[in-house]
Structure 1
Amino acid sequence: ASLKIDGEIIQDLSQRQEDFKRVKFTDLTRQGIQEHPISSQELAELITYKFNDSQRILVILNTIGAVNQLAENLDSGQLNCKVYALTTRMCAAHRQKLINEIKDRLAQKLPTICVSTPLIEAGVDISFETVYRSVCGLDSIVQAAGRCNRNGERDRGDVYLVLLNKDSEKLDKLREIKWGQKIVLNMLAQKDFDPDSLLQTKVINNYFDHFYQEIDQSELSGYPTSDEGRDIHLADYIEGKQASRDYLQQNSGSELKAFSGSETIAKHFEVIDQETVSVLVPYGKGSDLIALLNSQNYQDS
């Protein structure tokens, strides 16, 4: 079989882009030619002002602190609406319970606002009329758009891009988000740039070209790690490097076991970091289990 280099994972990409015409992007990150960062309170006021236009709203922000602050601002406002906050500080069971409640309310067309971290962008089949997205990397913006008008509630749902100020959303320790945000803001600043073009292939390719340049210029270039006491870069072990490609063209698959670099990559590289441990929390049956584990009867059994 021939080896296809840089093949597109999504084979029907043009059709998927056509599907996303169910949403319209509006850039609220600027006033004229100047960037226009807003506070959490100002974003709450904006959502309240536009609430009569759409009453089933998703707001995705980049940090847990920003989510909790906005949810509090909306709860304390004048809206007669149920406000939910979803973050990774909730246990999975708690988050799923709230997501199920939100889905039920959306199905009944009840006024509902969900403020969430990016956890809702992937693997959650849910649809809102309107989405507000704190500006970030283009890949996350596309994922956010996927939660808007998913079920065709409107001819075109609205996706608003907003820029929170540094006091409302602190990104100092979130380098990849800051890189993505900078690139997207530069795109939006271009004269006559149409925000709806964010879903076009050439714009997406341009974004990732710039994003990988940021990585190449950082200490993350080459995926540095330590292997048995040696400082290495996992990129040096990729079989897709030109020397490996030449080898693949000249040798049969049965001889590929000579490449051991893949084992090193498999040992160290994770697409999604899993540096977590399981804990028991006092939610639902967890409270009773904790009490049981701490009881004298359990200790004596």
Structure 2
Amino acid sequence: MSEKSSVFLAHVRQDSNGQWVEHLLDEHLHGVAALAESFAVTFKAGDWARLAGLWHDLGKYRTTFQRYIRGASGYDAHIETALGKVDHSTAGALYAMQRMKGLGRILAYLIAGHHAGLPDWQSAEAPASSLANRLNQADLLADALAAAPPTDILNAPLPTSNPGGERDHALWIRLLFSCLVDADFLDTEQFMTPDKTAQRGRYPTLAELEPRFAAYMTGLTAKTDATAVNRMRALVLERCRNAAEQSPGLFSLTVPTGGGKTLASLAFALRHARQHGKRRILYVIPYTSIIEQTADVFRTAFDADAVLEHHSNFETEHETPRSRLACENWDAPLIVTTSVQFFESLFANRPSRTRKLHNILDSVVILDEAQLLPPDFLTPILRTIRELSRYYGVSFVLCTATQPDLSSRHGFDFSLKGLDDVREIVGDAAAVHELHDSLRRVELTLPADFQTPITWETLAAELQTHYRVLCIVDRRDDARVLHGLLPPDTVHLSGLMCGQHRSDVIAEIKQRLRNPNAPLRVISTQLVEAGVDLDFPVVYRALAGLDSIAQAAGRCNREGRCFNLGQVVVFVPPTEPPKGHLRQACQAGRQILQRRPPDPLDPALFTEYFQSLYWQKGVEQLDSKGIQPLLKNNQRFEFSFRTAAERFQLIPEIQAPIIVQYGDNERLLAQLARSGDGLERKLLRQLQRYVVNIPRRVHQRLLAEGAIAERQPGVYVQVAPLYDSVLGLRVDNTPIAHYAPDDLIT
């Protein structure tokens, strides 16, 4: 080996002149330690994070690793190295156990997982990767120590702060892990690609954004007519600003659809953040069809650089090198993201998913359409919300027109710990009811007989008697069948249309609605219900959960322009809702509506509805994947991080994506075909606008038939004429259209 071998390297790179540049290992360890400590100070765990940073790459002192990095990089090209990477993370985990005994297991999880992900303590499925198994490889530590690492690293002071205390230990460890891996990424990036580091940050602060927003709202108010609806929106805005002065914690914002809760909730968040020193605002939305709309509203209020939009269907026109970097760790003041991205990250174990977690702390999180929190994961989600609010300085706002009952419930043989200290922003129950009455814009017509369904033919004939009407059904195949019975100019919307197609159609609908003389009939699945800003005089809704009916009503007479009340007609369809949550929600809604209450949308009914819905499932089904037992506090810190992450999937893996042929995306598809072994991030982002998800069994059949082709590993493209310009993806004689609308949450 050369004389350079006496220098311990963490990374090497060549500069623009072809000269080798060294990143010394001790410099890297100290750099990561300092960064991780600065992140973890937020939750008083800086001493733990600093030690994790100092020890995370102790294994790189091994002679085997030093030979590997020199030979594999070409730095010492004459050195022969074995194929495959060298384990450099287990040694630090072993050293943590040696120095700290039982408490060392905390750091062992972080260090052992800082590349491959937080492991399970023990695993029947993957025993070799379990932490217990890896801690048996004592020779890896002996090899590292034989190189005599610096004593200031080996003998660093042990943590003195309480490791978790009464908190959720597994969440505390995941947050520490976030601090470590983000620090590791950033320190490595600063050496390897300093131009990227230079692009980070430089966002406006929340303190700078608030006066911009206030000026925008003043201008917006000046342009609006003094209608009853706009007066109520102004009242909601005022109450949000006043409530922002309250101490941090849990809040609800219960405002009827069309009451201006999106901008009002942001006004609350901005003022609350300024008042209490919060670092950022996260706006969490269930549907991508809403997230794009909401982010555009926020960009209008501020500017494009102030808003980070993070989801799978990211619009490339708003993406910049800086925003791509900020998506990695949410280092921006205002983030608009999806429920999937937010909650799955909180339970993830992979470094790329978890590095953003520490930036959630000391923030304001607005959970838009809170009624759509997934019931099968409700128990672990509520526990995490409580923990983040109580111990980590996060204020949550549960924002919806149909507020779910998430309070604790206890019985003879069950117990559910919910959210018990939620403060309603608009006031007490009487104030919520007064707001509901003031914003009443529709009248509901219920079925004469809840047991007798209407036929599609009869419903189609009835819809044709209306000049402008929106009809919402639960099943994608129901939408297709009903659409086929109506005149050719009828508009169709469903999740079998790719995102770009849906956006184009929604834009067309809005354009036609602006022309008072244009007839318009729309058949849609429930993807239009949550936040899509449409306004019809008449809306038909298949019998469903009470929250879905209320959301459908929010697309009717939204601006209060109807001479009389808008008309919402609930009908019993000839098909049942899909099995699972939607069918249970329909049953709970039917039970209440069959009593024919004077006001079926009375806010008081939603408490009863959600209680019935949740308890109909049973408390054990509110954690149907068994996440809680895997992460339960225990004195030995034995957790199953990897298994919990695999189980916490809000979008089930029974679906598979296809890139369809739509519009003018031939150029993108041709570029994909020419991309060889590499797939550029920008191209992938653009192609995501043309994805449709279908059941894996149908996906496999189409692949076998040659109807789709794999252009890149895991990237499948439609090659047969399967896509219809009106109906979207068509695969005749298959159950492809049998989707639960829950599958549209992306």
TM-score when normalising by structure 2: 0.31
Deviation at 1:277, TM superposition (A): 6.3
Q: What are the Cα deviations for residues 36-87 of structure 1, in whole angstroms up to 9, with x where unaligned?
A: 21111111112124x2xxx2211110000110111111126xxxxx310100
Q: Which amino acid aligns with 1:174?
A: K
Structure 1 position 159 matched with structure 2 position 537: no
Deviations 1:185-214 (A, max 9, x none): 222222xx23x5222132111111111121
CA RMSD between the two structures: 3.4
How do 1:137-176 residues align onto structure 2 when only pairs under 5 Å count?
A: 137-154=545-562, 155-165=564-574, 169-171=575-577, 173-176=578-581
- Post-superposition offset of 1:293: 3.9
Does the alignment pair 1:273 with 2:651? yes
Q: How many angstroms does 1:267 deviate by?
A: 7.5
Please state how far the C-alpha of 1:263 moved relative to its aligned partner. 11
Q: Secondary structure at the match of 1:202?
A: helix
Q: Deviations over 1:200-240 (max 9, x none)?
A: 132111111111121107xx624132xxxxxx34389699x
Distance 1:162 1:7, change over 3 A: farther
Q: Does 1:181 align with 2:559?
A: no
Hey, what's the Cα distance between the residues in 2 that align with 1:132 and 1:119? 14
Per the alignment, residue 502 of structure 2 pairs with 95
1:222–1:236 CA contact under 8 A, matched in 2: no
- Taking the TM superposition and a 5 Å limit, the aligned residue runs for 1:74-153 are 74-75=486-487, 82-109=489-516, 110-153=518-561
Task: Tell me the residue number matched to 1:14.
Answer: 433
SS of alignment partner, residue 535 of structure 2: coil
1:1-301 superposed matches below 5 A: 5-7=419-421, 11-12=425-426, 13-28=432-447, 30-31=448-449, 35-49=451-465, 51=466, 55-75=467-487, 82-109=489-516, 110-154=518-562, 155-165=564-574, 169-171=575-577, 173-190=578-595, 193-194=596-597, 197-216=599-618, 221-225=621-625, 232-234=626-628, 269=648, 272-273=650-651, 275=653, 279-294=658-673
Change (3 A) 1:20 1:2: closer
Say which SS state the counterpart of residue 147 (structure 1) adopts. Answer: coil
CA separation of 1:9/1:288 partners in 2, compared to 1, >3 Å: closer, same or farther? farther
C-alpha spacing 1:16/1:288, structure 2 compared with 1 (3 Å): farther
User: What is the DSSP-based 3-state SS (H/G/I as helix, E as strand, rest coil) of the residue aligned with 1:198?
Assistant: coil
Q: Aligned partners of 2:554 and 2:561: how far apart in 1?
A: 13
Question: Could you tell me how far apart the structure 2 residues matched to 1:163 and 1:6 are?
Answer: 36
Distance 2:612 2:581 in 1: 12
2:56 aligned partner: none
How far apart in 1 are the matches of 2:665 and 2:659? 6
Q: Distance in 2 between matches of 1:27 and 1:263?
A: 48
Distance 1:16 1:238 in 2: 42
Mark the runs of 5 or more structure 1 residues left unpaired by the alignment: 77-81, 226-231, 240-257
Shift of 1:266: 7.7
Equivalents in 2 of 1:8, 1:94: separation in Å?
40
Secondary structure of 1:131's partner? Answer: strand
CA distance in 1, matches of 2:668, 2:610: 47
Residues in 1 aligned to 2:485 and 2:599: alpha-carbon distance in whole angstroms: 32
Q: Which of 1 and 2 has greater Rg?
A: 2
Cα distance in 2, alignment partners of residues 57 and 19 from structure 1: 24
**Conserved? CA contact 2:538–2:568, under 8 Å:** yes
Partners in 2 of 1:216 and 1:145 — Cα distance? 29
The structure-2 alpha-carbon separation of the partners of 1:237 and 1:128, relative to structure 1 and needing over 3 Å to count, comes to: farther
* Aligned residue type for 1:184: G
In structure 2, stretches of 5+ residues that fail to align are 1-246, 251-418, 427-431, 678-746
The 1:9–1:100 alpha-carbon spacing in structure 2 relative to 1, beyond 3 Å, is farther
CA 156–279 in structure 1, closer or farther in 2 if over 3 Å, else same: same
Between the two structures, name the one with larger relative contact order (CA 8 Å, sep ≥ 6): 1
Q: Could you say what secondary structure the match of 2:567 adopts?
A: strand
Aligned CA distance change for structure 1 residues 236 and 135 (closer, same or farther; 3 Å): farther
Q: Structure 1 residues 173-182 or 83-92, which shifts more?
A: 173-182
- Structure 1 residues 126 and 19: CA distance shift in structure 2, 3 A: farther
User: Contact (CA 8 Å) 1:40, 1:164: kept in 2 or not?
Assistant: yes
1:284 Cα deviation from its structure 2 partner: 2.1
Cα distance in 2 for partners of 1:174, 1:162 equals 19
Separation in 1, partners of 2:652, 2:423: 24
Q: Structure 2 vs 1, CA of residues 277 and 66 (structure 1 numbering), >3 Å: closer, same or farther?
A: closer
SS in 2 for 1:25: strand
User: Residue 593 of structure 2 contacts residue 600 of structure 2 at CA under 8 Å; is this kept in 1?
Assistant: no
Query: 2:199 corresponds to which residue?
Result: none
Give the 3 Å change call, closer, same or farther, for CA 106–185 of structure 1 in structure 2: same
The residue type paired with residue 200 of structure 1 is: D
The 8 Å contact of residues 281 and 287 in structure 1, kept in 2 or not, is answered as no
d(CA) in 1 for partners of 2:442, 2:455: 25
Letter in 2 for 1:187: I
CA distance in 1, matches of 2:422, 2:434: 13
The separation in 1 between residues aligned to 2:438 and 2:651, in whole angstroms, is 31
Contact persistence 2:576–2:583 (CA under 8 A)? no
- Matched position secondary structure for 1:88: coil
- Cα gap change, 1:151/1:7 in structure 2, threshold over 3 Å: closer, same or farther? farther
SS of 1:57's partner is: strand
In the aligned structure 1, how far is the partner of 2:439 from the partner of 2:618? 31
- For residue 2 of structure 1, report the CA deviation from its aligned partner: 8.8
Q: Are the counterparts in 2 of residues 237 and 264 from structure 1 also a CA contact under 8 Å?
A: no
| Matched-pair contact (CA < 8 Å) for 2:630–2:644 | no
When normalised by structure 1's length, the TM-score is 0.72
Q: For 1:266 and 1:197, how far apart are their aligned partners in 2?
A: 43
Which amino acid counterpart does residue 130 of structure 1 have in structure 2? V
Runs of 4+ in 1 over 6 A off after TM superposition: 1-4, 235-239, 260-267
Does the aligned pair in 1 maintain the 2:630–2:641 contact within 8 Å? no
- Whole-angstrom distance in 2 between the partners of 1:18 and 1:134: 24
- What is the letter of the counterpart of residue 473 of structure 2? L
